[in-house]
Amino acid sequence: MRLSPVTAAMLATLLGGPVAAADRAPFETVGGWAIERRGGQTDAPACRMTRSEKDAQGEITGLVIVSLDRGGLTLAVADRNWDFPAGERFTVPMLLDGKPAGTTLIWTGDGQILRTALPETLVPDLLAARALALRFADGDMPVAVPDLAAAVAALRRCATGSSSKPAVAVEPPLPPRARIATYTVGLALQGVLRTCGVAATEAQREAVEAKMAALRPEMAPYEAAIRAQVTKSRGFTCPGADKEAEFQEALRRFIALSPDEFAGVVDRQAEASPGAPVAKP
């Protein structure tokens, strides 16, 4: 099982736009971390760093993405074996060198993703630690973050460094992040509906085509980059029998929610009250 195209889209949305967006440029590579800088004038973090884990077949099994959040950090962890309810919030203790961090962290789940804001007071201990893990009800899960301190130092240089080009707004303006995520998911669904023998009514197929046609004008400048990312994550791969239910749910949500409604759902989920300590799904 790969990180799904829905996960790829949502992870990118939460942390600053499509993974392969044309307005991101490599800044530096440190110990397996890829630091990228965003150009133009947007409300997304100017820089972020990403590290992926792969299995023997080269499939992505997990991701860690870090961005600056004022004096602290925003941390997102993705694992292909997770399946958290979208928007649910959980208390998941973080262990540094085997000992609980001094701050209680609230994580927001979304499928294969958990994300949290790390306060400034926790950052020095995190960067000094040699091992990081998350504590679930059924045991501790190590999170590989080698050379984290050096990578965060590069991330800060990226954020404070001057760009080689004047910072100007992208023309046309970058669409809202939620609409980019919706279009990314739509490309994957559209490809599967056209090439795979999945169960879908004519009304469902027409609804997908109509929504994509409505979004396409504003996405046209970025479609090549978004489509490349969907292809890279194998979002066009036909779902097996074990993934049919997940595909049908993604199809239902895509049709039922308009892009603006989708953005509203994300906002409401962020305001939900934290839940009880979570067992790893």
> Are 39 and 12 in the same domain?
yes
How many Cβ atoms from other residues are within 10 Å of residue 140's Cβ?
Answer: 13
Domain boundary among 127, 160, 193: 160
Give the domain CATH number at 26. Answer: 2.60.40.1880
> Are 51 and 183 in the same domain?
no
pLDDT confidence bin for 151, thresholds 50/70/90: very high
Dihedral of the CA atoms 78, 82, 88, 94 (nearest 10)?
-60
* 168 falls within a domain: no
> Are 37 and 145 in the same domain?
yes
**Predicted pLDDT at 268:** 56
Q: Which residues of 165-177 are buried (b: 16+ CB within 10 A; e: fewer)?
A: eeeeeeeeebbeb
> Are 53 and 139 in the same domain?
yes
Q: How far apart are CA 267 and CA 272, in angstroms?
A: 9
Rounded average pLDDT over 257-269? 62
pLDDT confidence bin for 272, thresholds 50/70/90: low
> Are 195 and 120 in the same domain?
no
Q: What are the tens digits of pLDDT across the range 93-134?
A: 999 999 998 888 899 988 888 999 998 888 999 999 999 999
Enclosing domain of residue 218? 177-270
Answer yes or no: is pLDDT of 265 > 70. no
Rounded average pLDDT over 53-79? 85
The closest of 165, 156, 157 to 23, measured between CA atoms, is 165
> Are 206 and 246 in the same domain?
yes
> Are 68 and 189 in the same domain?
no
pTM (predicted TM-score): 0.55
* 144 falls within a domain: yes
39: amino acid identity, one letter? G
- For every residue of 7-45, DSSP letters joined together read HHHHHHHHTTS-TT-TTEEEEEEETTEEEEEE-SS-SS-
**Predicted pLDDT at 258:** 77
> Are 261 and 203 in the same domain?
yes
**Predicted pLDDT at 111:** 81
* 277 falls within a domain: no
Q: How far is CA 273 from CA 78, 118, 252, in A?
A: 22, 18, 26
H or E element that contains 269: helix 259-270
How many Cβ atoms from other residues are within 10 Å of residue 81's Cβ?
Answer: 11
Answer yes or no: is pLDDT of 85 > 90. no
* 34 falls within a domain: yes
* 193 falls within a domain: yes
Question: Looking at the 3D structure of the chain, how many domains does it have?
Answer: 2
Rounded average pLDDT over 234-261? 82
Percentage, residues of the chain above pLDDT 90: 24
Q: What are the tens digits of pLDDT across the range 188-198?
A: 888 889 888 88
* 170 falls within a domain: no
> Are 141 and 182 in the same domain?
no
**Predicted pLDDT at 264:** 57
* 275 falls within a domain: no
The closest of 175, 189, 195, 200 to 230, measured between CA atoms, is 189
> Are 101 and 236 in the same domain?
no
* 32 falls within a domain: yes
**Predicted pLDDT at 249:** 83
> Are 29 and 140 in the same domain?
yes
**Predicted pLDDT at 269:** 46
Domain boundary among 94, 125, 160: 160
> Are 119 and 244 in the same domain?
no
Comparison of pLDDT for 232 and 157, the residue scoring more: 157
Percentage, residues of the chain above pLDDT 70: 76
